[in-house]
């Protein structure tokens, strides 16, 4: 009698990451920007959240405020763009769709990063760098976006491999730590600072440095048990991950959020209750939309308002209030009605407000939540139908086409985005021009 | 919305007796039949229902690689591409001789027919009023994508 033993393949992870994602998206539809120094600014055009390589070479750090950059920008012709999240979201979806062709196990880690689980796909892709180059080439061809791919036997190692691929041009955008000869592997890890390890923040890396652990190799050589005793179980896991023992599994399904925050600094300071209420209603609407997208309901809503703490010459005030809902709901009308109690109660005249926001809490799945005894039978259905129509209208004709509690056309609290590019891929009015002349 | 109106408690009772709630008949709507019950015979077509036609399926082969562009100009009228038309551009199709392509010329997107034969690479207009664009030696032609369709809407 013979028994066929199926060999168990070892885990293999890839991390795919788009280089300078926001800038690369902008360049996709604007040939003028290629080889130009470009920065993308945060909400309200505050600070640089993405930099092209040319800007990085000028020594501009991530998060530098735009007003500090203006002089340098004039000197070097840096193009500054407002962030166009509609475009970035669409391009991100395209990248993730392409990646799903390479593996059924996909964890979308952020807007521009994605883990792939490749365990058991060895016969399809015998050499990791081979699939890496194919991924790079296909994403580049189909979307114009440049990506780097890192491979490792754990997610932490895949992330490090990606870091090496990005920093070392000799790797041609793909680094595989899983098949690298041992000496070479250790040599690379000794060149990388411990702060680059996934999950090691600035504070932790200071503590590690104090304990004499400066490089990734040093962290890897530290016994995991000691790490646990000194820093806790999360650090122990990192230790094991660096040793090639996978402790962090692929999270293919994102868990529904337990809290939804919608908040923004205003484009201008505002002082009237009407405008404040309007902004709160708008933030609540977008939070409610996100709540419905994950099929959840919430039972309380917290509203906060604040002045600008950086304007020391101004009187300062900030306050918040939690408004409970009689029944858990995701109906924008009910949520806005509840949220508007907030500014009504905590608003004080005579202050210049800079920021407001809402936080939905007590979030539960819409399927399991208990109906109230006193609601009309079927009212929930009608509300769900109305809300789905509302969402469809706003998706089709643009955000806030149908809004609740919207008074003025001119909204001083809206985001300041002076230099936003068109929504090339999601709005018929904005598609790029092809010249036939 | 059902409104329940509490009745004033009577002063004689000393024990905390829960009072009966009184329903306000004017605002108390009782839903009786909320579901439609279909009458008549079931449709004989039920078993034969197929998905309706979707222009996306007709025009788009590869959604992740497809982009839309609006045409300005008349150099491609011979290929039935007119001013104001919407181009369907697929970046996953490899450009070949004879394809209508979107090329990047002087940092602009230009729609032309690709002529690539015997080492000669040219971009041809489909309108005698426009001369072809010939690439000089060592000049690189940057093809952004291949035009796989056009869509036009008429004013009605």
DSSP chain B: ---EEEPPPPSS--S-PPPPEEE-TTT-PPP---S----SPPPTTGGG--PPP-HHHHH-S-GGGEEEEEEESSTTGGGT--TTPEEEEETTSPP-TT-EEEEEETTEEEEEEEEEETTEEEEE-SSTTSPPEEPPTT----EEEEEEEEE-----
- Nearest residue of B to residue A378, measured between CA atoms: B34
- The confidence score (pLDDT) of residue A209 equals 92
Which whole number is the average pLDDT over A84-101?
A: 95
Q: Apex CA A137: angle with CA A112 and CA A169, to 5°?
A: 75
Number of neighbours of residue B55 by Cβ within 10 angstroms: 9
Provide the b/e sequence for B63-95 (b: ≥16 CB within 10 Å): ebbbbbbbbebbbbbebebeeebbbbbbbbbeb
- Nearest residue of B to residue A377, measured between CA atoms: B31
Q: Is the pLDDT of residue A322 over 70?
A: yes
At A346-400, the pLDDT tens digits run: 999 989 998 899 999 888 888 776 666 666 666 677 888 899 999 998 888 877 7
Query: What mean pLDDT, rounded, does chain A reach?
Result: 89
Q: Is B56 in CB contact (< 8 Å) with chain A?
A: no
- Using an 8 Å Cβ cutoff, are A347 and A305 in contact? yes
pLDDT confidence tier of residue A1, bands split at 50, 70 and 90 = very low
Which whole number is the average pLDDT over A411-428?
A: 82
Q: Is the pLDDT of residue A88 over 80?
A: yes
**Min CA distance, A78 vs chain B (Å)?**
18
- Using an 8 Å Cβ cutoff, are A413 and A277 in contact? no
Q: Is the pLDDT of residue A236 over 60?
A: yes
Give Cα A357 to chain centroid, integer Å. Answer: 19
**Min CA distance, A374 vs chain B (Å)?**
7
Residue scoring higher pLDDT (A4 or A293) = A293
- Using an 8 Å Cβ cutoff, are A287 and A260 in contact? yes
Q: Is the pLDDT of residue A20 over 80?
A: yes
- Using an 8 Å Cβ cutoff, are A45 and A419 in contact? yes
Nearest by CB to B76, from A141, A425, A436: name it. Answer: A436
> CA A164, CA B152: separation in Å to the nearest integer?
48
Across A131-145, A241-255, B20-34, least confident range: B20-34
**Ranges of H-type helices in A116-221:** 128-143, 155-167, 182-191, 202-210, 216-221
Nearest by CB to A433, from B64, B67, B109: name it. Answer: B109
Q: Apex CA A140: angle with CA A135 and CA A146, to 5°?
A: 95
pLDDT confidence tier of residue A44, bands split at 50, 70 and 90 = confident
For residue B90, give the nearest of B118, B65, B122 by alpha carbon.
B65
For residue A301, give the nearest of A249, A262, A250 by alpha carbon.
A262
Q: Is the pLDDT of residue A245 over 60?
A: yes
Taking contacts as CB-CB distances below 8 angstroms, the residues of chain A near B73 are 435-437
> Domains of chain A (ranges plus CATH)?
8-180 (3.30.70.270), 187-254 (1.10.150.20), 260-367+384-397 (3.30.1490.100)
* A–B interface: beta-carbon pairs under 8 A: 85
| Residues A176, A180, A182, A186, CA torsion sign | negative
- Nearest residue of B to residue A140, measured between CA atoms: B91
| Interface contact flag, A435 B109, Cβ < 8 Å | yes
| Interface contact flag, B92 A32, Cβ < 8 Å | no
Residue scoring higher pLDDT (A414 or B118) = B118
Q: Is A429 in CB contact (< 8 Å) with chain B?
A: no
At A168-206, the pLDDT tens digits run: 999 999 999 999 999 999 999 999 999 999 988 888 889
DSSP A362-394: S-EETTTPPPPTTSPTTHHHHHHHHHHHHHHHH
Ranges of beta strands (E only) in A271-386 are 296-307, 318-329, 353-361, 364-365
The residues near A179 (Cβ < 8 Å, ≥ 6 apart) are: A127, A128
Q: Is the pLDDT of residue A51 over 70?
A: yes
- Is B11 annotated as catalytic? no
Environment class of A436 (CB within 10 Å of its CB; exposed 0-12, middle 13-18, buried 19+): buried
Environment class of A218 (CB within 10 Å of its CB; exposed 0-12, middle 13-18, buried 19+): middle
Which tokens in the block code for residue A125? Answer: 């892709």
| Interface contact flag, B72 A432, Cβ < 8 Å | no
| Interface contact flag, A374 B4, Cβ < 8 Å | yes
Number of neighbours of residue B146 by Cβ within 10 angstroms: 20
**How much of chain A, in percent, has pLDDT values that exceed 70?**
93
- The confidence score (pLDDT) of residue A315 equals 87
Interface test with A, best of B55, B67, B141 (most A CBs within 10 A): B67
Provide the b/e sequence for A339-369 (b: ≥16 CB within 10 Å): bbebbeebbeeebbbbbbbbbbebbeebeeb
Of A44-48, A139-143, A405-409, B10-14, which has the strongest mean pLDDT?
A: A139-143
- The confidence score (pLDDT) of residue A2 equals 47
Interface test with A, best of B30, B55, B56, B65 (most A CBs within 10 A): B65
Under CATH, which number does the domain B61-151 receive? 2.10.109.10
> CA B76, CA A190: separation in Å to the nearest integer?
59
Domain positions in chain B are 61-151
- The confidence score (pLDDT) of residue B76 equals 96
Taking contacts as CB-CB distances below 8 angstroms, the residues of chain B near A97 are 63-64
Please tell me the pTM assigned to this model. 0.79
- The confidence score (pLDDT) of residue A143 equals 97
**Min CA distance, A433 vs chain B (Å)?**
5
**How much of chain A, in percent, has pLDDT values that exceed 90?**
59
Taking contacts as CB-CB distances below 8 angstroms, the residues of chain B near A143 are 64-65, 91
Q: Is the pLDDT of residue A220 over 80?
A: yes
| Interface contact flag, B102 A434, Cβ < 8 Å | yes
**Min CA distance, B12 vs chain A (Å)?**
31
Nearest by CB to A437, from B65, B70, B75: name it. Answer: B75
- Is B51 annotated as catalytic? no
- The confidence score (pLDDT) of residue A58 equals 92
- The confidence score (pLDDT) of residue B31 equals 55
Number of neighbours of residue A106 by Cβ within 10 angstroms: 18
Q: At residue A110, what are phi and psi to the nearest 5 degrees?
A: -155, -175
- The confidence score (pLDDT) of residue A313 equals 85
| Interface contact flag, A435 B73, Cβ < 8 Å | yes
At B15-64, the pLDDT tens digits run: 666 667 665 655 555 555 555 666 777 777 777 777 788 899 999 999 99
| Interface contact flag, B70 A431, Cβ < 8 Å | yes
> CA A60, CA A39: separation in Å to the nearest integer?
10
Residue of B43, B63, B75, B96 with catalytic role:
B75
> CA A13, CA A117: separation in Å to the nearest integer?
5
- Using an 8 Å Cβ cutoff, are B121 and B133 in contact? no
Nearest by CB to B73, from A31, A431, A436: name it. Answer: A436
């Amino acid at each position: 009698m013979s028994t066929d033993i199926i060999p168990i393949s070892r885990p293999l992870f890839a991390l795919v990451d788009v280089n300078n994602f926001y800038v690369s998206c902008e360049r996709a539809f604007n040939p003028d920007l290629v080889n130009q120094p470009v920065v993308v600014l945060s909400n309200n055009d505050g600070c640089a959240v993405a930099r092209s390589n040319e800007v990085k070479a000028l020594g501009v750090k991530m998060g530098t405020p735009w007003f500090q950059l203006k002089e340098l920008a004039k000197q070097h012709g840096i193009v500054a763009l407002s962030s166009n999240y509609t475009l970035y979201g669409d391009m991100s979806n395209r990248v993730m769709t392409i990646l799903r062709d390479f593996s059924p196990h996909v964890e979308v880690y952020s807007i521009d990063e994605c883990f792939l689980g490749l365990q058991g796909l060895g016969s399809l892709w015998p050499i990791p760098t081979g699939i890496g180059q194919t991924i790079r080439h296909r994403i580049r061809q189909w979307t114009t976006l440049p990506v780097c791919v890192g491979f490792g036997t754990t997610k932490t190692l895949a992330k490090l491999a990606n870091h090496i691929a990005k920093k070392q041009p000799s790797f041609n955008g793909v680094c595989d730590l899983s098949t690298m000869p041992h000496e070479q592997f250790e040599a690379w890890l000794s060149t990388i600072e411990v702060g680059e390890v996934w999950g090691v923040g600035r504070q932790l890396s200071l503590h590690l440095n104090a304990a004499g652990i400066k490089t990734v190799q040093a962290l890897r050589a530290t016994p995991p048990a000691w790490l646990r005793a000194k820093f806790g179980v999360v650090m122990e896991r990192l230790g094991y991950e660096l040793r090639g023992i996978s402790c962090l599994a692929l999270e293919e399904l994102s868990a529904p959020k337990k809290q939804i925050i919608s908040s923004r600094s205003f484009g201008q300071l505002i002082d009237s209750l009407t405008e404040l209420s309007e902004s709160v209603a708008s933030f609540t609407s977008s939070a409610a939309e996100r709540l419905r997208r994950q099929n959840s309901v919430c039972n309380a809503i917290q509203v906060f308002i604040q002045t600008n703490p950086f304007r020391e010459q101004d009187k300062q005030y900030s306050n918040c209030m939690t408004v409970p809902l009689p029944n858990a709901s995701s109906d924008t009308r009910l949520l806005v009605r509840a949220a508007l109690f907030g500014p009504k109660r905590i608003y004080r005249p005579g202050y210049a407000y800079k920021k407001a926001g809402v936080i939905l809490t007590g979030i539960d799945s819409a399927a399991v939540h208990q109906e109230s005894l006193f609601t009309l039978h079927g009212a929930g259905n009608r509300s769900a139908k109305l809300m789905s129509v509302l969402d469809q209208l706003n998706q089709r004709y643009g955000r806030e086409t149908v809004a609740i509690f919207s008074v003025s056309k001119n909204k001083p609290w809206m985001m300041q985005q002076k230099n936003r590019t068109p929504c090339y891929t999601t709005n018929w009015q904005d598609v790029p021009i092809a010249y036939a002349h | 919305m059902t409104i329940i109106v509490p009745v004033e408690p009577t002063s004689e009772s000393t024990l905390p007796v829960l009072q009966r709630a009184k329903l306000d008949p004017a605002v108390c709507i009782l839903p009786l039949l909320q579901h439609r019950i279909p009458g008549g015979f079931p449709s004989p077509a039920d078993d034969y229902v197929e998905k309706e036609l979707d222009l996306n399926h007709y025009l788009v082969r590869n959604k992740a690689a497809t982009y839309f562009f609006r045409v300005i100009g008349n150099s491609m009228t011979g290929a039935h591409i007119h001013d104001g038309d919407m181009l369907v551009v697929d970046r996953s199709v490899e450009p070949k001789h004879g394809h209508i392509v979107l090329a990047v010329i002087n940092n602009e997107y230009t729609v032309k027919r690709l002529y690539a034969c015997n080492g000669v690479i040219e971009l041809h207009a489909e309108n005698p009023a426009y001369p072809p664009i010939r690439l000089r030696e060592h000049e690189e032609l940057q093809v952004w994508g291949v035009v796989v369709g056009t869509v036009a809407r008429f004013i009605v």
